[in-house]
Chains A and B, each alone.
Chain A
Amino acid sequence: MATQALRADYHGDGKDTEDKFHGAILVYINWDKHLFFYSAKAFPLDPNMPFAAVLEHVIGTHFCQHPEYKNINWDTVEWTLNNEPFMPVMEKSLAENGFDHKCLLRFKTAETSSFEAAGI
C-alpha cells in the first residue's frame, strides 16, 4: 500500500541507505535468550572485515560483560543470518559470508548456567 498523500509525487528518501555509512554496512548482532543485553546491538562494519575479526573485536568486546561469556564453546554455537541457518567461514570477509546492509546476525549457545531459565 502507499501513503495517502497530498501530492502524487510523494516518495520516500531513505535516511539509512548504504551509501550514507562511509563504506560500512550496518550489522545487528544478538546473543539469543541473553536479555542481560536488552536488545540486539548495531554496528557499522567494513564488509571486507574477516568474520574471525568480527568475532574477536566486535562480539568479543561487546558481549563479554556477561558473566558466562567466557564459557561459550564457539564450536557448538548455532548462527543465523537474517533468521536463516548460517555457517560462518572464519577467514572469509563479511561480504563473502553473505552479509549485506542492515543484516541481522544471531547466535545461540548451549546453556547450562543458572541464568538459562530467566533468559539472562
Chain B
Amino acid sequence: MSKVLIAFQENDESRYIVQAIEQDNPDATVYFEPAMIRIENEGSLTINKATVEEMMGCDWEVQSIHVNLLTLTGHIDEDDDYFTVHWDN
C-alpha cells in the first residue's frame, strides 16, 4: 500500500489537529520540520471532527483545515464530521 502524506503549518491549531490524528491513526509517523508538521501513514489518514474538538475544547469545522493545510497526497473523502486521505493500492 502506498503512503499518504499530509502537512500543516505549525501553529496552535495544527498541533491539536495533529494530536487528534495521532490518536485516531496510531500507526502514523509525525515529522516536525521548520514551521511545518508532516504526517505520513501507510494507506490512509483520517481526521475526525469529534476528536479534534475534544483536543481543542471548542467547536471546529472540518473545512477549516484549509487554513493551515500545506499539502497532501491520496484521494480525499471529506464530509461534515471527518476528512480522510487514502490510497487504494
A contacts B: CB pair < 8 Å = no
